Structure 1
Amino acid sequence: MAESMEGVVTEVEQPNTENVEDKTVSEIRSNFALLERAVAQFDSRFTLRALRSISSLRKRLTDRVLCTVIVVTYSAKNPTARLLIQAVGMEAEDLKAVADQHKDAVQALKNSTKEPLPEVDVYIGILLQVYLYDQQDYEEGAEFSTQLVDRIRELNRRTLDSLAAKAYFYFSLFHEELDPKPPSKQSQVITIRGKLLAALRSAVLRKDLDTQASVTTLLLRNYLSTADITQADLLVAQTQFPENAPNNQVARYLYYLGRIRAIQLSYTDAHEHLISATRKAPTSSVAAGFYQSSMKLLIVVELLMGDIPERELFSQPRLERTLEPYFRLVQAVRAGDLPSFLKIVQNSAKAFHRDGTYTLILRLRQNVIKTGIRVLSLSYSRISLRDICLRLGLESEESAEYIVAKAIRDGVIEASIDHEKGFMQTKQAGDIYATREPGEAFHERIRACLTLHDECVKAMRYPMNQHRLELKNAQEARERERELAKEIQEGDLDDDDAAGDFDGL
């Protein structure tokens, strides 16, 4: 009885698997029509639509699905088909079984002289990159990606721009997985960097905005991975990021730019870039990792600026768990508790190293001390330097005096020091609404809203060359009017035409 039930289950599961494979193959082939339409109309929207479908196809990609797509798309003598099948790594017997299963399509290819477009070749190559990355076959993926990007550079077709940007992204990703610690293997990093710089030069000369935006962010990521901050800053200074770049590339570029500025101690610029990156980050759960990384760096930068992040930030569902060590860090900074701060840094050092914020967090020690001094200045109108030393856990009264004097000079607190008697006297705080600070904060919010509105207007898309069609129709209408006027003047209209015209009037 058990054996018969197992046979039934196998028979039921087999057709379902075949149906899923056939459906996946048909969806992939339907995207070929979008690519052909994009080439015919020179409209990148159809290419982007085909690329967006990869996220839904990704979970259903198998070696059998990819081989089926290749077999029913290319003839047996096509060199591109051989390269793709070699990258899939399917056995010869399984490949022959796939070909026998689709005999009609293979026979139709033999009788057809039409070859697939280069856009179709690159699209299948991107699917293969995704499959190899999910299978964690990084060596084969890196080798295939190198061949793919080299062929894209040779083709030099503007209809390949969006596809080329995606291909370079996986090219860089494969080599990162091959070499997770770049400083230990500088030769490989230099090789990748050279290819990316060559691709950036070609993209700028060819006005390939999609590839230019993608490669620029990849180069910044490459420089940051090896701590080459000076070279990354030179790249930002000597290149211009495309204004009409896709939103996801703009968000990544702003994130890397914010990280560079934070390392260079330009916290105001870093804060501005990171705020824009978090606003442009996708709201879907698929890109939650980018949003979390941006918020972690933003929290640290706000602390370095002397601000305290809002508590509501840490209660978001996407951030609650991942921001737990940062929440405890903020509490220690807010309280000005130096021993607690040092303990949190020591216990969560691995998480901070993994996030790339450890060196920035170490700079917060002075901020913790300044915050503690600010809390003491608000709590006491007069307090001795010895009590400040004991409460903040400082080494000596001389160091406490030096730190208080520096806080007064930087404008952190409004107080004075009596050096002879050894105490700090706090000045009476004024009305903050009498200053320009509320107006400046309100102006900053208005400017952010206006900037967002301008970017939304720039991001609106319209059909390519639609104005030419309208001009053509207008020109044809004018020609018909001229012909009608000429016939009226020459008296070529007969009685029926004239009657029809008067009836219309």
Structure 2
Amino acid sequence: MTLTEPSLDHLLNNKPSVSNVTFEGQALTVDDVLENFVYLEKAVSNFDPKYMLQVLRGLPSLRKNITPTVLYKTIETVYPKSNPSRAVLLSAIDGHLSEIPFDESMDIDKSDTKTILPEIDIFLHLLVQTWLLHQNDLTKFKDFNEETVKKLASYNRRSLDYLAAKVWFYYSWGKELNNELEEARPLLLNALRSATLRHDMETQASLITLLLRSYLATHHVSQAENLVSKITFPESAANALVARYFYYLAKINAIKLDYSAAHEHVTAAIRKAPQTPLAAGFLQTAQKLNVVVELLMGVIPEKSVFKQAFLEKPLLPYFDVAKAVRIGDIIQFSETIKKHSASLKKDGTYTLVLRLRQNVIKTGIRTISLSYSKISLKDICIKLQLDSEESTEHIIAKAIRDGVIDATIDHEHGYMQSNEVLDVYSTLQPQEAFHERIKFCIALHNDSVKAMRYVLSNHNTDLKNAEQAREREKELANGLQSSDLEDDDGNFDI
């Protein structure tokens, strides 16, 4: 990529006329960007990440007002001409400036003696990254990501942890949009190793989720499982990253046939995800996987799940699948799969839904066992439209062994005898249900305690204030005692 700095004359000669309101709006946006620099400086000087988090929380609303003119003004204000980052950033926005006016009233500081904080430098790179992505300029976005990653590698500062996590996120997103996920993995793995050695928790969490997404997108499930077995996900990571990590774990476990672990992880992902409209896409994807996993476990999801406003339309194929599984109708199930195959393949759940055929058969067998105390294998074969009586006998035997039904098979006479239904409270099911609820409540309590924030070294201030208060009390007590003695002496003389 050739980095050339656009000339100021070129920008001024190609500007169209725009109202002063636009100029005022751009100036306000520049002020907002410069105000974020103050928080970044506080984060570095005070070693407090809350200022960095405040900047990143405001990034979604800030990037909506970003224009090439705002970026140009900010870059010209912050960077001296001798700084190499200036040419990189201006080259990234070149080509769009000719269509956007440049405000001549904006004063530009041309000082060459400025010292730019690495945090401010990377934050401006991050702003340009987000702007290029929303411009859908994938070629320039890809090239600029490479330059940003090189710039990030040149710094070794713990205070860049949160910004680095965002930079790697957009880098991986660019590779995914250009279908180059496999090419990005070696660099992501090296970055994960460096972040682990530096104890950059947020960057570790971001890179782990990006690698898992990359492996699963290319169907390298064994490599994703190997990565999970050899890393420790940071407990202090943001809830959004934790939710993604749990979702990928759920997908891996579902593919491995470990449906109990998959359901536990996908439920945790839904609970950890931000409950805002911005996270609606993730919640829809997680709910789709959750419905499939529950069906594979033999549990029919509640109808209220499908009736939520933002889930009703995306979960329509899964609602039809759930109806077919609940009824236990093989023909309806096959027709539903054929009808919604495109949507299921797009969601990446097609192979998991195909596994539900056995569940449909088991559901049919369970319905028959509850309806008939005694029924021939031939009638079961006809009702479920199975291939033969022998295969029907094997399927029923497996259902009995798995605990799906409580029955016996008379092989000599060729019929199934259902046993009397026992009281559920005489089994271990209530105990297991209470155990799951108690475990969830304890985990929620522990997470709440970990999420509490305390001011650093605040206890020392409290101790100092307490000592001063005790000294004042002693002085006051001594003063009162001495004044009492003087009063007593005066009275005695009288």
The structural deviation recorded for 1:153 is: 2.2
Residue equivalent to 1:332: 324
Query: One-letter code of the match for 2:127?
Result: L
Is the 8 Å Cα contact of residues 42 and 464 (structure 1) preserved in structure 2?
A: no
- Which one of the candidate residues 403, 419, 428 is aligned to 1:411? 403
- Please list, as runs of the form range in 1=range in 2, the aligned pairs for 1:318-467 lying within 5 A after superposition: 318-467=310-459
- Please list, as runs of the form range in 1=range in 2, the aligned pairs for 1:169-318 lying within 5 A after superposition: 169-179=169-179, 188-318=180-310
Q: What CA distance in whole angstroms lies between the structure 1 residues aligned with 2:114 and 2:453?
A: 33
The structural deviation recorded for 1:464 is: 3.7
Tell me, yes or no, if structure 1 residue 63 matches structure 2 residue 68. Answer: yes
The structural deviation recorded for 1:504 is: 12
Larger CA deviation: 355-364 vs 442-451: 442-451
Q: What CA distance in whole angstroms lies between the structure 1 residues aligned with 2:62 and 2:325?
A: 46
Residue equivalent to 1:41: 46
Query: One-letter code of the match for 2:102?
Result: V
Is the 8 Å Cα contact of residues 43 and 49 (structure 2) preserved in structure 1?
A: yes
Q: What CA distance in whole angstroms lies between the structure 2 residues aligned with 1:357 and 1:383?
A: 36
Is the 8 Å Cα contact of residues 43 and 464 (structure 1) preserved in structure 2?
A: no
Is the 8 Å Cα contact of residues 382 and 425 (structure 1) preserved in structure 2?
A: yes
Query: One-letter code of the match for 1:240?
Result: T
Q: What CA distance in whole angstroms lies between the structure 1 residues aligned with 2:393 and 2:98?
A: 82
Is the 8 Å Cα contact of residues 370 and 412 (structure 1) preserved in structure 2?
A: yes
Q: What CA distance in whole angstroms lies between the structure 1 residues aligned with 2:481 and 2:74?
A: 60
Residue equivalent to 1:98: 102
The structural deviation recorded for 1:289 is: 0.6
Residue equivalent to 2:127: 127
Q: What CA distance in whole angstroms lies between the structure 1 residues aligned with 2:173 and 2:23?
A: 32
CA RMSD of the aligned region, Å? Answer: 2.6
Q: What CA distance in whole angstroms lies between the structure 2 residues aligned with 1:149 and 1:274?
A: 32
The structural deviation recorded for 1:315 is: 1.0
Q: Secondary structure at the match of 1:307?
A: coil
Q: Secondary structure at the match of 1:334?
A: helix
Residue equivalent to 1:72: 77
Name the CA shift for 1:200/1:388 in 2 (closer, same or farther; >3 Å): same
Is the 8 Å Cα contact of residues 68 and 97 (structure 2) preserved in structure 1?
A: no
Residue equivalent to 2:10: none
Query: One-letter code of the match for 1:150?
Result: K
Query: One-letter code of the match for 1:282?
Result: P
Which whole-Å deviations, capped at 9, do the CAs of 1:51-85 have from their partners, x for residues lacking one?
11111122222212211211222223321111111
Query: One-letter code of the match for 1:31?
Result: N
The structural deviation recorded for 1:135 is: 0.9
Q: TM-score, normalised by structure 1?
A: 0.87
Residue equivalent to 1:52: 57
Which whole-Å deviations, capped at 9, do the CAs of 1:96-143 have from their partners, x for residues lacking one?
x737432x3x2x442x73322111111111111111111111221122
Query: One-letter code of the match for 1:212?
Result: Q
Is the 8 Å Cα contact of residues 68 and 96 (structure 2) preserved in structure 1?
A: no
The structural deviation recorded for 1:263 is: 0.5
The structural deviation recorded for 1:308 is: 1.0
The structural deviation recorded for 1:420 is: 2.5
The structural deviation recorded for 1:470 is: 5.6
Tell me, yes or no, if structure 1 residue 22 matches structure 2 residue 14. Answer: no
Residue equivalent to 2:113: 113
Residue equivalent to 1:139: 139
Name the CA shift for 1:502/1:69 in 2 (closer, same or farther; >3 Å): farther
Is the 8 Å Cα contact of residues 328 and 361 (structure 2) preserved in structure 1?
A: yes
The structural deviation recorded for 1:158 is: 0.7
Q: What CA distance in whole angstroms lies between the structure 2 residues aligned with 1:76 and 1:463?
A: 41
Name the CA shift for 1:499/1:284 in 2 (closer, same or farther; >3 Å): closer
Residue equivalent to 1:182: none
Q: What CA distance in whole angstroms lies between the structure 1 residues aligned with 2:422 and 2:141?
A: 64
5+ residue gaps, structure 1, are 1-9, 180-187, 489-497
Q: Secondary structure at the match of 2:310?
A: coil
Q: What CA distance in whole angstroms lies between the structure 1 residues aligned with 2:147 and 2:208?
A: 20
Q: TM-score, normalised by structure 2?
A: 0.89
The structural deviation recorded for 1:250 is: 0.6
Is the 8 Å Cα contact of residues 71 and 99 (structure 1) preserved in structure 2?
A: no
Q: Secondary structure at the match of 2:405?
A: coil
Residue equivalent to 1:6: none
Q: What CA distance in whole angstroms lies between the structure 1 residues aligned with 2:340 and 2:161?
A: 43
Query: One-letter code of the match for 2:155?
Result: L
Q: What CA distance in whole angstroms lies between the structure 2 residues aligned with 1:504 and 1:32?
A: 61
Q: What CA distance in whole angstroms lies between the structure 2 residues aligned with 1:152 and 1:360?
A: 40
Name the CA shift for 1:476/1:401 in 2 (closer, same or farther; >3 Å): closer
Name the CA shift for 1:143/1:402 in 2 (closer, same or farther; >3 Å): same
Q: What CA distance in whole angstroms lies between the structure 2 residues aligned with 1:407 and 1:372?
A: 11
| Higher helix content, 1 or 2 | 1
Query: One-letter code of the match for 1:308?
Result: I
- Please list, as runs of the form range in 1=range in 2, the aligned pairs for 1:475-490 lying within 5 A after superposition: none
The structural deviation recorded for 1:90 is: 4.1
Q: Number of aligned pairs? A: 466
Name the CA shift for 1:417/1:135 in 2 (closer, same or farther; >3 Å): same
Q: What CA distance in whole angstroms lies between the structure 2 residues aligned with 1:401 and 1:475?
A: 80
